[in-house]
């Protein structure tokens, strides 16, 4: 635990809870980065191999240009791209102390950079979209599942009982995921897919609990039967890595900002920032690959020039 003035038992409990949450969630992010590195490599050649894997998929090959460039698509892309530029431009390598502060800011910027370019991708693929986060998450998870290679095609389905969850494009069972302890370093986890499954399953549980609470409040109900819960779960879209990033965005803004302030050292904060940034940039690289196929290279070049 870092050196801090603790004035009460409540302070101690709050700090311990925040540090556990911080380790857990940044291990989740790290696990996705490690999985990508094991599949493709963690250098520029890994990014090239990732893009090439997308282009080899039959769903990518079937994408046809059927959308004319429009203001909504252009504005969404530019918003996402400029937000990403801010993430990449922050000089944490030069001013290492910035990382401890920036890690509180980063989840919000990460999600909204992906939201902007993800929305542009949804529009480019001519998918139906309502202007809500729930609609975006449902649609972008479908994009990730259907067009992205491993690990980003992985999704969690089912509920409400955790041990009855199922996973798409992920070689693990609900029991294996439940048994994993997320405080362990994912670097030493041979079955990294279990770690990814844990990040998705806990995220799905949190989203379902929010859905049940909001629905009960709206319907003025105290509880739901298991049959009703199963119905709601069947209508809930697959939970993807984008849900995880949105979950962290909510915690940074509202639920538990304390967890982002606790890193043992500048070095730890730098590693967390780097992992988050790598994951964000890689997902956006994949989305831009899909966009370019859908709108054509000429229009994509124009968009990139506008944000250069």
Q: Is the peptide bond before 151 cis (omega within 30 degrees of 0)?
A: yes
As a whole number of angstroms, the distance between CA 308 and CA 299 comes to 14
Q: Collapsing DSSP states into helix, strand and coil, what is residue 166?
A: strand
What are phi and psi for residue 239, nearest 5 degrees? -90, 125
% of the chain with per-residue pLDDT over 70: 92
pLDDT at 1: 43
pLDDT at 161: 86
Other CB atoms within 10 Å distance of the CB of residue 167? 23
As a whole number, the mean pLDDT across the chain is: 89
User: Residue 121: how many CA atoms within 13 Å on its side-chain side?
Assistant: 30
> In the predicted model, what is the mean pLDDT of residues 70-82?
95
User: Residue 221: how many CA atoms within 13 Å on its side-chain side?
Assistant: 13
What is the per-residue pLDDT across 223-238, written as a single tens digit (0 to 9) for each?
Answer: 888 888 888 888 889 9
As a whole number of angstroms, the distance between CA 169 and CA 155 comes to 7
As a whole number of angstroms, the distance between CA 237 and CA 134 comes to 9
Reported as a pLDDT band with limits 50, 70 and 90, residue 216 is confident
Name the residue with higher pLDDT: 11 or 98: 98
Q: Is the pLDDT of residue 247 over 90?
A: yes
> In the predicted model, what is the mean pLDDT of residues 137-166?
95
Whether the Cβ atoms of residue 35 and residue 190 lie closer than 8 Å to each other: no
As a whole number of angstroms, the distance between CA 276 and CA 141 comes to 19
pLDDT at 257: 67
As a whole number of angstroms, the distance between CA 244 and CA 81 comes to 20
pLDDT at 47: 95
> In the predicted model, what is the mean pLDDT of residues 84-101?
87
Give the residue from 166, 161, 195 showing the smallest Cα distance to 27: 195
Residues with Cβ within 8 Å of 14's Cβ and at least 6 positions away in sequence, in order, are 258
What is the per-residue pLDDT across 14-68, written as a single tens digit (0 to 9) for each?
Answer: 667 778 888 899 999 999 999 999 999 988 899 999 999 999 999 999 999 878 8
Say which range, 52-61, 156-165, 282-291, has the weakest mean pLDDT. Answer: 156-165
pTM for the whole thing?
0.91
pLDDT at 5: 56
pLDDT at 2: 47
Other CB atoms within 10 Å distance of the CB of residue 71? 7
Encode 188-212: b = buried (16+ Cβ within 10 Å), e = exposed.
ebeebbbbbbbbbbbbbbbbbeebb
Whether the Cβ atoms of residue 169 and residue 155 lie closer than 8 Å to each other: yes
Whether the Cβ atoms of residue 148 and residue 39 lie closer than 8 Å to each other: no
Give the tokens for residue 237: 């879209």
pLDDT at 14: 66
Sign of the four-CA dihedral 19, 20, 21, 25: positive
Whether the Cβ atoms of residue 162 and residue 178 lie closer than 8 Å to each other: yes
Write the DSSP string, 195-247: HHHHHHHHHHHHHHHHHHHHHHHHHT-S---HHHHHHHHHHSPPB-HHHHHHH
> In the predicted model, what is the mean pLDDT of residues 152-174?
93
Q: Is the peptide bond before 267 cis (omega within 30 degrees of 0)?
A: no
What is the per-residue pLDDT across 249-268, written as a single tens digit (0 to 9) for each?
Answer: 998 877 666 666 665 677 88
The tokens 């909001």 sit on which residue?
214
């Amino acid at each position: 635990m870092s050196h801090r003035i603790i004035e009460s038992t409540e302070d101690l409990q709050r700090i311990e809870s925040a540090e556990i949450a911080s380790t857990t969630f940044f291990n989740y992010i790290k696990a996705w980065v490690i999985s990508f590195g094991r599949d493709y490599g963690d250098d520029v050649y890994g990014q090239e191999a990732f893009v090439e894997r997308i282009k080899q998929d039959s769903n990518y090959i079937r994408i046809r240009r059927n959308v004319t460039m429009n203001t909504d698509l252009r504005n969404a892309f530019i918003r996402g791209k400029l937000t990403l530029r801010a993430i990449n431009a922050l000089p944490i390598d030069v001013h290492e102390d910035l990382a401890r502060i920036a890690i509180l800011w980063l989840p919000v910027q990460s999600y909204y950079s992906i939201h902007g370019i993800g929305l542009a991708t949804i529009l480019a693929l001519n998918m139906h979209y309502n202007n809500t986060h729930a609609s975006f998450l449902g649609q972008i998870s479908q994009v990730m599942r259907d067009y992205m290679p491993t690990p980003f095609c992985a999704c969690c389905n089912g509920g409400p009982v955790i041990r009855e969850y199922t996973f798409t494009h992920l070689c693990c069972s609900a029991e294996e995921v439940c048994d994993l302890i997320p405080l362990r370093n994912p670097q030493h986890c041979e079955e990294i897919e279990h770690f990814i499954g844990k990040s998705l399953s806990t995220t799905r549980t949190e989203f379902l609990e929010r859905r049940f609470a909001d629905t009960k409040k709206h319907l003025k109900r105290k509880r739901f039967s298991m049959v009703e819960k199963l119905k709601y779960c069947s209508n809930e879209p697959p939970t993807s890595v984008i849900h995880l990033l949105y979950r962290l965005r909510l915690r940074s803004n509202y639920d538990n900002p304390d967890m982002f302030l606790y890193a043992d050292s500048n070095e730890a904060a730098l590693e967390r920032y780097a992992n988050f940034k790598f994951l964000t940039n890689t997902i956006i690289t994949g989305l831009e690959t899909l966009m370019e196929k859908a709108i054509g290279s000429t229009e994509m070049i124009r968009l990139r020039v506008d944000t250069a």
